[in-house]
Amino acid sequence: MNIRIKKSQPKRIMIVNRGEIASRVAKACRELGHTAVGLWTDNEPSAAHLEFCDEWVHLEGSSNAETYLNIEKIVSLAKEHNIDGIHPGYGFLSENGKFADALHDAGITFIGPHKEAIRVMGDKATSKALARDAGVPVVPGTAEAVPSVEEALKVANDIGYPVLLKAVAGGGGRGMRACANDEEVKKQFEAVGRESKAAFGNGDLLVEKLIVNPHHIEVQIMADKNGNVFHFFERECSIQRRHQKIIEEAPSPFIGSDEELRQRVCETAVQLAKAVNYDSAGTVEFIMGEDKNFYFLEMNTRIQVEHPITEEITGVDLIICMIQSAFGEDLQIPNQEWIKKTGHAIECRICAEDPITMLPAPGVVTGFETNFPQGVRFDHCLYRGLNVTPDFDPMVGKLVAKGLVRDVAIRKMRSALDGLYIEGLKNNIPLHKVVMDDPVFSEGQYTTDYIKEVSPQERIETDMDFDSIYRKLAAAEARNMGM
């Protein structure tokens, strides 16, 4: 099911990002008839996303602070090149209210939600209070930051252990610590506050009830500037390391065939988005206990890394919708019932990291080959010679497999992982293979504790299959010689 693409007045859209998301946005811009303007920096002069852009602009600098996080420099470049709109992708300035303000003042469209939505939903305490006022269930705990360890202890004893100390302005798994008793709260309170201050510039903490055997369920929403808000069903993102997702599925295997629960979760996400007058792509994240009660966690006011699996089961291009919404255009979605889900999709994040320790492993790609079955999509930034540095997130691609049912999607993903060959760069493909073969994963009842409890990394084969490696190297060398 595809949305009819209605041609609008051509715009010049600058993509303030890099890697696979920059390529993804550039393709959507060109499909709509807009000019995609890509950025290159001093440490990525030949970035892969540039080949999908119509124009290239030099963003001078070799660090994130000098380039992708430099609001003044980006706005100045946008003015110089007559840019109509900026798409921030995810990460960097995608959820930065000051950036949205600066663009507004410069008369440039921010391809994302309005600045007040970014501000309100970007603060965990404020967003939790809004959710509570909107009738959205929230995890028991504080609505505002606790001022002292004494107050944290009082709250913890009121709601009962275990509890979670959580940074007000946190994200990406940082600034979070579970505590099982008073002593652990006393021990961790100042440490988590320091970590949060260093990472986010804000050391304020919340105290929340820790949900046992939790599932991370999130709902994709899309809204326009006319008050229309739609959901595109849910995703399960419970396989995580260090509170960061590595495998996602749509729809959630834990919710399964419980359509009444699915409808309640998705309608709750729409309810929250309407409460903040949302007007772009966004994701409402919930934590769901083993009893299937669910609670609001946070809202990401941007497109998510895992948006492709939602696109695969709904047939809707979310980036295109996002661009249309930003310029006040009709999304051409008549009603919620028009959006249907078909089949099952799984995404594996391909990262430059050690598959056993799951720590970043920078390096240079010396070879890259793919051989995928039908029903596989690979959004990536890989090419031979790519130097993956510690400057950026270690994710280099997103492998997506779709099947009519979940078992088929798993089978296709396992085959696709066998068909993805990256030479010279340590990566987590071996970890994904073990997970796809694991019966706990196959049953679909895994929780966010999967990596810790199941430990798939301990079953990774460390002995090299030299025959297989030599065959792949020989094939690659033959292709290089034109044979």
d(CA 295, CA 307): 21
d(CA 425, CA 432): 16
Say how many C-beta atoms besides its own lie within 10 A of residue 281's C-beta.
26
DSSP letter at 337 equals: G
Say how many C-beta atoms besides its own lie within 10 A of residue 314's C-beta.
21
d(CA 193, CA 205): 7
Q: What is the full DSSP assignment across 91-125?
A: STTTT-HHHHHHHHHTT-EESSS-HHHHHHHHSHH
DSSP letter at 44 equals: B
Question: From the candidates 302, 349, 406, 414, which is the catalytic residue?
Answer: 302
d(CA 249, CA 143): 31
Dig out the tokens for 308 from the structure.
């492709």
Which residue is listed with tokens 């994904």? Answer: 432
Contacts of 325 (CB under 8 A, 6+ apart): 222, 223, 224, 225, 279, 280, 281, 331
Q: Are the C-beta atoms of 410 and 442 separated by less than 8 Å?
A: yes
From first CA to last CA, the distance across the chain in angstroms is 41
CA–CA distances in Å: residue 198 to residues 32, 71, 176, 193, 298:
41, 21, 13, 9, 21
Dihedral class, residue 159 (left if φ above 0, else alpha if ψ from -120 to 50, else beta)? alpha
Pick the closest to residue 49 from 14, 81, 83 (CA basis).
14
Say how many C-beta atoms besides its own lie within 10 A of residue 289's C-beta.
15
Contacts of 120 (CB under 8 A, 6+ apart): 126, 127, 130, 276
Report the DSSP beta bridge partners of residue 350: 397
Q: Are the C-beta atoms of 164 and 207 separated by less than 8 Å?
A: yes
d(CA 154, CA 147): 12
Q: Are the C-beta atoms of 106 and 79 separated by less than 8 Å?
A: yes
Residue 241 among the catalytic residues: no
Letter for the amino acid at 360? P
d(CA 237, CA 216): 5
Q: Which residues are catalytic?
A: 302
